[in-house]
Chains A and B, each alone.
Chain A
Amino acid sequence: MTAGETIKIIARKEIKYLLREKTFFLLLAVFIIMAALSTFIGWSAQHTIRNVYDAATAELAANHQAIPAFPLAHVSSLAIIKNMIIYVVLIGSLVSIILGYFIGINDRISGTIKLIFSRQVSKTELLGGKIFAITYVLSIITLSALAISLISAGIFHVLSFANGLKILGFYALSFLYMLGFALLSLALAMKMKSSAGAILYSLFIWIIITFALPELSSALYPTSLLNPVLPPTDILNSPVLSYIHNFVWPFSISEHFKELSAAVLGVADLPGGQPSLYAYGFNISIIFFWNIFSFLAAFLFFRKIKPAQSDLYE
């Protein structure tokens, strides 16, 4: 049997196992439902703010006050989809963690690691099969969310060829972002001595990437992530914050993803003007490095597997 065939068999087995995990589908359902709801929520908020503006101008006119221009006049039509950026950061990455966890841990919990390595299967082939399974499942999840966003964009009359391409670009980026989490979770699921530890350490990394690093690099409070518009923090005015920003910013993967996604969808708030191509190049490089780092972690942890000691007896 060739290595390619072995990898395919392992991937098929992993996917079959995953299909039995109802809890994975529970989290996946949350992601898919939010993908479907996000456009409606975005549309509802935009529609209401227009009406609030009309009511506000009537109030200002009645009091003979100056009437400012509609503050969202310049906003792109795809702004109704921008909630998906937050949902990928919050839910998509967690779904990926659980995906990597299940695919990494199932052999260990069922006690079949020894059995697998008693056959002519190398560590690289096992890893290859698991990564193939993760990539395949994640592609289907991403494509489903893409289809939902395209349909909902069509329903709210914002779907053009250009906008379709922008949504496609955003989901390509989302796939890369989520893949990093799935690979890292796979690595930890193979490494940790308990199943709870594997999930907990993956969550630690998720918390650091999603909440702690943005606070350090851009002075954003943890719950600021939940807001559709980030608070104005002109951090470069403060020398100390600016210094910390320069140091932490390259590692703040979620911010790179959010910045690049907003640019791809054309919904970025750009008070400081349009970022350079270099800035976008840096964003995408970081997301690629994130994947390379996660892949290397999975590769190194797999190399260290001791078949006789890897099974978990929980």
Chain B
Amino acid sequence: MNKTLIIAKKEFKDIKRSRIFAYVLLMLFALTIISLFVSELIFRDQVTQYNNSLAILKSMGKLPAAASPQLFPLNLLRGVVGYIEIIGAILGIFLGYISVFKERNTRAIKLLLTRPVKRSSIIYGKILGNFAFVFFAIASVALLILLTLPFIGGAGLTGIDFVKLGIFTVLSSLYILIFFTLSFILSIKQKSIVNALIISFAIWLVFVLIMPQIGDTMDPDNQVPGGFFMSMALSRPQEKKVMAHFNHYETIRGGVEQLSVTKHYERSIFALFGIKKDYNGQALNAILRDQWGNIAVVVLFLLIGVWADIIFFRRSQNLLNS
């Protein structure tokens, strides 16, 4: 068998045996179920409130201005996407850390390099093995969604929903692998491997939580519960006309958000699932055409990470000196 594949297989087996990763997966499963359940309850509550308002309006002889809430099952996955953004990234960081830690701790890497195995085969094998595990983990979450959504959401999924969940699985795996490459490279570079873990968390904190938070805080529409423009009764074209006066501010705000790979991942998945309402009911082709830029940024971040891992792994002496 190809040496890269042998290493990938061993990497996958090692991860599967680890109790830590079993707990991370269990946590993701539990939070997925909780999130779906809560989202469904929120939706049901919206329907109840709408029906109550409708009854009051009818008794007054009036007609409702707003349409009845319509269930798009994939909209219920908003919380799940949030957890993938946060816990998925943590999973990636731990995979990268453990992948180097076990080699350094057991000194197996020295033994491995005495065999006729190229360093490039080792790094390709490690990346492949970890991608396989992450894909397996996210595919399991997607399967869990497929199995539980009809029961919790009470709505059947269409063929296109299956395709969307497939794209979600691939894109989420790529997103998580970005954090694997980050943690992997730091674990190789740092003399103290725990420091690599903590630096990875500092970077994760800035890019996954702080930058999107700054972007959200600077968004004028986010300053008022329910939205500023809604409270001003401005239509969408009017909102655009008003915001045209603040191009400079919006460029800075957008720039802060653009630096975060998490925001690109979130935007593409929110569009795919119709969580961003403008995309509800749009054809998949149209969504992908509109979101290709965000998807490309996720892929680009990953390619840079993989490239850096390969370069540094080939040159690293820390692995041998540990």
Interface centre among A24, A56, A91, A200 (most CB of B within 10 A): A56
Q: B interface, by DSSP: helix, strand, loop or mixed?
A: helix
B124 to chain A, nearest CB (A): 25
Pair A231/B197 contact, Cβ less than 8 Å: no
B90: chain A residues within 8 A (beta carbon): 203, 207
A211 is contacted by which of B82, B98, B226 (Cβ under 8 Å)?
A: B82
A212 with B242: in contact, given A68-B231, A237-B49 (CB under 8 Å)?
no
Number of interface residues of B (CB under 8 A): 64
B131 at the interface (CB under 8 A from A): no
**In the complex, what distance in Å separates the CA atom of A229 from the CA atom of B197?**
32
Interface centre among A71, A216, A230, A269 (most CB of B within 10 A): A71
**In the complex, what distance in Å separates the CA atom of A210 from the CA atom of B220?**
25
**In the complex, what distance in Å separates the CA atom of A31 from the CA atom of B55?**
51
Pair B87/A207 contact, Cβ less than 8 Å: yes
B45 at the interface (CB under 8 A from A): yes
A41: chain B residues within 8 A (beta carbon): 214, 217-218
**In the complex, what distance in Å separates the CA atom of A33 from the CA atom of B308?**
28
1/0 per residue, CB under 8 A from A, across B219-247: the answer is 01011111011011110001001110110
**Count of chain A to chain B residue pairs whose CB atoms are closer than 8 Å in the complex:** 181
Pair B233/A238 contact, Cβ less than 8 Å: no
Interface size class of A (residues with CB under 8 A): 35 or more
Residue of A nearest to B40 (CB): A240
B38: chain A residues within 8 A (beta carbon): 215-216, 219, 241
Pair B212/A226 contact, Cβ less than 8 Å: yes
Name the interface residues of A172-221: CB closer than 8 Å to any CB of B: 195-197, 199-200, 203-204, 207, 211-212, 215-216, 219, 221
25 A-B contacts, Cβ less than 8 Å apart? A21-B195, A22-B195, A23-B198, A26-B199, A41-B214, A48-B218, A49-B228, A52-B228, A71-B232, A90-B205, A94-B205, A199-B201, A200-B94, A215-B38, A216-B38, A222-B79, A223-B212, A228-B216, A228-B217, A228-B222, A229-B223, A237-B48, A240-B41, A271-B225, A314-B101
* B-to-A contact residues, CB < 8 Å: 20, 23-24, 27, 31, 34-35, 38, 41-42, 44-45, 48-49, 78-79, 82-83, 85-87, 90, 94, 97-98, 101, 105, 194-195, 197-199, 201-202, 205-206, 209-210, 212-214, 216-218, 220, 222-226, 228-229, 231-234, 238, 241-243, 245-246, 249, 266
* A-to-B contact residues, CB < 8 Å: 21-24, 26-27, 30, 34, 41-42, 44-46, 48-49, 51-53, 55-56, 59-60, 63, 65-66, 68, 71-72, 83, 86, 90-91, 94, 98, 109, 195-197, 199-200, 203-204, 207, 211-212, 215-216, 219, 221-223, 226-235, 237-238, 240-241, 269, 271, 314
